[in-house]
């Protein structure tokens, strides 16, 4: 992460969430210093509503609080970061937008897969309880976790469309092969971030704090898709392994295979 200062904007996010990963990656690529606060679904919601002065309607993270400005969502945060960087490191956002749309659709399908997998696993439900819940209580509090995860399912399932994930991966492969380049738009841009993060719902490598339990990690992995798109996994790994195109959640995982 970039060096923190007292006046740094505050990013509120979930370290396991691909949308938070997109926002952090974008901010760091642009050299924007930020403080980070982890959001716990359901438990952190009242605090977030208070910060946003929003008592009704949906709230989601990531959110960036920059002075009096509230920047909601990974796309707007990335635009904010790109504006703050005189070199426009993240590229032309008009050209990037179709890639971000593909990424959003793929991640929506990916999230619904993960959420449904957690709902089908007692172990993953127990792992999703907050860290302060002692082990011996987890089984009996599973119903609390199930209610919270069902709530997330209801909140987001309408965004998921079948095959959006497959479609996004195929388009990425096609484009990378076309130009025989590691960058979707010729040089590193937010399009690469948006599509590389899609692989975090197929074979995640970003460091997550608090760490995910083994049953939950299992739900974030799609071994069949990972096998089918191992060329894209290798591409994402190359971006993550190179200083010029990486960010803190990848660097924390090093050494990372370049293959």
Ligand X SMILES: N[C@@H](CCC(=O)N[C@@H](CS)C(=O)NCC(=O)O)C(=O)O
Site for ligand X in 133-152 (CB under 6 A): 152
Q: What's the min distance (Å) between Cβ of 211 and ligand X?
A: 17
Residue in 30, 32, 36, 74 binding ligand X, rule: CB under 6 A? 74
User: Dihedral of CA 19/25/30/31: which sign?
Assistant: positive
- The span from the CA of 107 to the CA of 18, in Å, is 7
Output phi, psi for 225, to 5 deg: -65, -35
Task: Give yes or no for residue 75 binding ligand X (CB under 6 A).
Answer: yes
Task: Give yes or no for residue 204 binding ligand X (CB under 6 A).
Answer: no
Residue in 9, 12, 19, 25 binding ligand X, rule: CB under 6 A? 19
Q: What's the min distance (Å) between Cβ of 99 and ligand X?
A: 13
- The span from the CA of 206 to the CA of 209, in Å, is 10
Write the CB contacts of 50 (distance below 8 Å, at least 6 apart in sequence): none
Q: Judged by CB, which is closer to ligand X: 17, or 208? A: 17
Q: What's the min distance (Å) between Cβ of 243 and ligand X?
A: 26
3-state secondary structure of 136: helix
Task: Give yes or no for residue 113 binding ligand X (CB under 6 A).
Answer: no
3-state secondary structure of 38: strand
Task: Give yes or no for residue 60 binding ligand X (CB under 6 A).
Answer: yes
Instruction: Find out whether 196 and 106 touch, Cβ atoms under 8 Å.
Output: no
User: Segment near ligand X (CB under 6 A), from 73-81, 84-92, 128-136, 223-231?
Assistant: 73-81
Residue in 73, 95, 121, 248 binding ligand X, rule: CB under 6 A? 73
Tally: H helices and E strands in the chain = 13, 4
Task: Give yes or no for residue 155 binding ligand X (CB under 6 A).
Answer: yes
What is the DSSP annotation of 91-109? --HHHHHHHHHHHHHHHHH
Q: What's the min distance (Å) between Cβ of 73 and ligand X?
A: 4
Q: What's the min distance (Å) between Cβ of 111 and ligand X?
A: 6
Task: Give yes or no for residue 32 binding ligand X (CB under 6 A).
Answer: no
- The span from the CA of 212 to the CA of 110, in Å, is 17
- The span from the CA of 211 to the CA of 225, in Å, is 23
Q: Judged by CB, which is closer to ligand X: 9, or 62? A: 62
Q: Judged by CB, which is closer to ligand X: 17, or 216? A: 17
Residue in 21, 24, 89, 111 binding ligand X, rule: CB under 6 A? 111
Instruction: Find out whether 163 and 154 touch, Cβ atoms under 8 Å.
Output: no
Residues in touch with ligand X (CB under 6 A):
14, 17, 19, 41, 60-62, 73-75, 111, 152, 155
């Amino acid at each position: 992460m970039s060096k923190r200062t007292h006046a740094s904007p505050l990013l509120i996010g979930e370290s396991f969430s691909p949308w938070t990963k997109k926002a952090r990656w974008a901010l760091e690529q642009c050299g924007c210093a930020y403080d980070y606060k982890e959001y716990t679904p359901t438990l952190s919601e009242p605090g977030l509503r208070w910060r946003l002065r929003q008592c009704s309607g949906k709230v989601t993270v990531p959110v960036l609080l920059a002075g009096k400005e509230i920047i909601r969502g990974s796309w707007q945060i990335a635009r904010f970061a790109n504006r703050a960087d005189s070199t426009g490191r993240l590229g032309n956002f008009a050209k990037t937008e179709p890639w971000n749309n593909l990424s959003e659709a793929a991640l929506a399908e990916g999230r619904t897969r993960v959420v449904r997998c957690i709902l089908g696993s007692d172990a993953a439900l127990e792992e999703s309880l907050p860290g302060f819940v002692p082990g011996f209580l987890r089984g009996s509090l599973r119903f609390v976790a199930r209610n919270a995860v069902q709530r997330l399912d209801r909140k987001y399932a309408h965004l998921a469309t079948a095959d959006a994930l497959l479609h996004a991966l195929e388009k990425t492969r096609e484009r990378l092969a076309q130009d025989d380049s590691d960058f979707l738009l010729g040089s590193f841009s937010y399009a690469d971030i948006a599509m590389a993060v899609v692989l975090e719902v197929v074979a995640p490598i970003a460091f997550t704090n608090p760490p995910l339990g083994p049953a939950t990690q299992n739900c974030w992995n799609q071994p069949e898709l990972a096998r089918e798109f191992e060329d894209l996994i290798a591409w994402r790994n190359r971006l993550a392994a190179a200083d010029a195109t990486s960010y803190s959640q990848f660097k924390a995982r090093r050494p990372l295979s370049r293959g």
